[in-house]
Amino acid sequence: MYPEELEQEILFLRQQNAQLKQQLAKSTTEFHTEIAQLKQELQESKQLLQNNYEAELILKASQTELLALFNAIQDVIIILDAEGRYLKIAPSSAPLLYLPPVELLGKTMHEVLPSKFADSFLNCIQQTLKTKQTVKLEYSLPVADGEVWFEASIAPMNENTVVCVARDINERKVVQAALSQQASDLAQALKELQRTQTQMFQAEKMSSLGQLVAGVAHEINNPVNFIHGNLSHLEEHIQDLLHLIHLYQLSHKGELQNSSFYPTNLPQDYNLVQPILPEEIDLEYIQEDLPKILHSMKIGTQRIRQIVLSLRNFSRMDEAEFKEVDIHQGIDSTLMILQHRLKEKPNFPAIQVIKNYGNLPLVECYAGQLNQVFMNILVNAIDALEQSKDDENFLPTITIDTALIDCNRVKIAIADNGLGMPEQVQKQVFNPFFTTKPVGKGTGMGMSISYQIITEKHRGKLECYSKLGQGTEFAIAIPIRH
C-alpha cells in the first residue's frame, strides 16, 4: 500500500515539476522578451535624448545666430498692441532710439512720444489691424541734439498686436537733400545753358542777317546808283520838254506875238502859230537820249526786282510749314545774296561756281531753314577759299552737285577746293561753339544749327568730308516726302 501511494506521490510531483519547468521556460521567454523590449525602449530613449540634445544645441546655435543677426542689423523690431503699448523690443545695435528699451517697454506711445506723432502712428497701427495689410511710413523724431528720420513698416501679427520694423534713414535723407540741391543746381545750370544757347542762336541769326544785309546792299547798290545817276539827265530832258510844251501853250493863246520866239513874215492864212525853239533845247538829242535813259533805268529796276524776289525766296518768311519747293531755286537765291563775296577782289580772283544740277522733283521741307543751311555752308566755303589766296595760280572754285539718291531722297553736295581740314577739326565741325575762325568773325553755331536743321527738322543727314590740301565737301541727304 505504502509504496503505491508513494509512487503516485512521486508521479504527481514529477507532473508538478514538469508544469513548473514549462511555466519557468514560458516566464523566462517572456522575461527575455520584456528585457529586449526594455532594451529597445532604452535605446530609443537614449536616441531621443541624443536627438533632443542635438536639437537643443542647434536651437541654441540658431538663437545665438539670430541674436547676432539682430545685434548686427540697424533695424529696430518692436511689438506693439492695439493701444500702441511697447510689448517687446528686439535686441539691436541700432545707435538711435527715442529712449532706451527699458524706458519704453510696458508704456504706450502717448506716454513717451510727441502727442501729434503718437496719434499718427496709432492710426497706422489701427489701420494695419483693420485691413490686415502692411503700412509703410516715414517720420522724424527729435533724438539727441538733432532730428532723425526713420522708415517704418507695420505688419499685423494677430488680432491685437503688430510688429514694427523701423530703420534709420537719416543718411539717406541727407543724401536725398544733397541730390535734390544738386538737381536744382543742375536745373538752374540747364536754364542758364539754354539761355546762353538761345543767345548764341540769336547771335548766329544776326550774323547770318549781317551776311544777308551786306549781300543785298551790295547787289542793290549798283542798280540804285545807276538809276540815281540817270535821274539828273532825265530831269534835265523833262524840264526842256516841259518848257517846250509851255511855249506851245503860249503860242495858242497869242501871247508870243511880241516875243523873240515868235516867227515873222508868215502868210496871213497860217493858223498854227509855232514858237522858235530856244538854242539850249536840243530836241533831236532829247528824242534820241530819253528812250536810252528810260531803258537803262528799266534794266536797273528789273535787277532790283530780281534781288528782292531772290531775297524773299531765300527768307521764305511766309512758309513756316513743310512745303514743296524747288531746291535749285533756293540755292540760286542764296548764291545771288552772296554774289558780293564771290566777285573779284584786290589780290584775290573771283570765285567760280560750278553747278551740276540733277533732275530733282519738288522737295517737302522748311524752305527758309534749308536756305539758311545753304548760306552757312557756302559762307564757310568762301572763308576757306579766301584763306588759300597765297597761291598765285590758285583758282577758287565751289562745286554744287544735286542728284536723286533713291525714290524718296535727294542729295545736295557743296564742295570747295580750299585748304581742307585735319581729321581732328573735321570730327568737331558740328559741335556747338566750335570754330576755327578768328575771334569776332564766327559764333561757332552755324554748322551746329545746320546739323540740327537737317537731322532733326528734316530727318536727314549732314556729313563732312575733307582732306588737307584738297578741299572740303558737305553732303546733305533729305527725304523728298515726310
Looking at the structure, tell me whether residues 370 and 457 fall in a common domain: yes
Question: Of 477, 474, 476, 478, which is closest to residue 379 (Cα–Cα)?
Answer: 474
Residue 183 lies in a domain: no
Q: Note down pLDDT in tens along the chain; length 482 residues.
A: 456 777 788 888 888 888 888 888 888 888 888 888 888 888 888 888 888 888 888 888 887 776 676 666 667 888 999 999 999 887 655 555 667 777 888 899 888 888 888 898 899 999 999 999 999 988 888 776 778 888 889 999 888 999 998 888 888 888 888 898 999 889 888 888 777 766 666 665 556 656 666 666 666 766 777 677 777 777 877 887 887 787 777 765 555 455 555 455 545 544 444 555 566 677 777 778 778 778 777 777 777 776 776 666 665 544 556 788 899 988 988 888 788 888 888 888 889 999 999 999 999 988 888 888 898 899 889 988 888 766 677 889 999 999 999 889 999 999 999 888 888 888 888 877 666 665 455 555 678 888 888 998 889 999 999 988 889 999 999 999 87
CA dist 2 to 5, 6, 7, 15, 457, Å? 5, 6, 9, 20, 148
Grid coordinates standing for 18?
Answer: 514538469
Grid coordinates standing for 136?
Answer: 509703410
Number of separate domains in the chain: 3
Looking at the structure, tell me whether residues 449 and 343 fall in a common domain: yes
CATH classification of the domain holding 121: 3.30.450.20
Looking at the structure, tell me whether residues 384 and 449 fall in a common domain: yes
Residue 383 lies in a domain: yes
Where a domain ends, among 128, 145, 168? Answer: 168
Grid coordinates standing for 156?
Answer: 499685423
Residue 188 lies in a domain: no
Looking at the structure, tell me whether residues 442 and 364 fall in a common domain: yes
Residue 4 lies in a domain: yes
- According to DSSP, the β-strands at 363-365 and 323-325 are antiparallel
- How far apart are alpha carbons 185 and 170 in whole angstroms? 22
Where a domain ends, among 72, 93, 127? Answer: 72
Looking at the structure, tell me whether residues 44 and 125 fall in a common domain: no
Residue 311 lies in a domain: no
- Residue 83's region, left for phi above 0, alpha for psi from -120 to 50, else beta, is alpha
Residue 414 lies in a domain: yes
Looking at the structure, tell me whether residues 78 and 68 fall in a common domain: no
Looking at the structure, tell me whether residues 65 and 99 fall in a common domain: no
Looking at the structure, tell me whether residues 161 and 35 fall in a common domain: no
Owning domain of residue 422: 320-482
Residue 298 lies in a domain: no
Where a domain ends, among 29, 44, 72? Answer: 72
CATH classification of the domain holding 471: 3.30.565.10
Looking at the structure, tell me whether residues 126 and 26 fall in a common domain: no
Looking at the structure, tell me whether residues 159 and 25 fall in a common domain: no
Per-residue HEC secondary structure of 211-275 comes to HHHHHHHHHHHHHHHHHHHHHHHHHHHHHHHHHHHHHHHHHHCCCCCCCCCCCCCCCCCCCCCCC
Looking at the structure, tell me whether residues 81 and 132 fall in a common domain: yes
Looking at the structure, tell me whether residues 416 and 473 fall in a common domain: yes
- How far apart are alpha carbons 293 and 373 in whole angstroms? 41
The answer to whether the beta carbons of residues 118 and 109 sit under 8 Å apart is yes
